Amino acid sequence: MSPDDATDAVAGGAREPVVVDARGLRCPVPVIRLAAAARERGTGDLLTVWSTDPAARLDVPAWARMRGHRVVDEHEVAEGHEVAQERDVPQEREPAAAPSVWAITVELGR
């Protein structure tokens, strides 16, 4: 599933989440960006944060609980659907594996 497909999979495709792209950012920045996006939205809106930081899988649900929101979806984005960054890699060395990207969707409460 690509990051674009993640928005269609939530809530049976009834509502399309706003995506907060925090790939490549480390704790606490993914939650800070998610909180900033939440301030501009209302109850019932969906926000999906994309993150490569493993801590986000714990931090986002904790933030959601503390703020009266709920996590409605969490899944790993399929490899190969990430934004590719081109760079020169010496032939004798294979490129490093790309970090996992997690899509965590929160439904805003109060």
Residue 27 appears among annotated catalytic residues? yes
Burial class (CB in 10 A: 0-12, 13-18, 19+), 105: buried
- Laid out side by side, the sheet with 46-51 consists of 18-22, 46-51, 101-107, 70-77
Catalytic residue among 9, 18, 27, 72: 27
User: Which residues carry out catalysis?
Assistant: 27
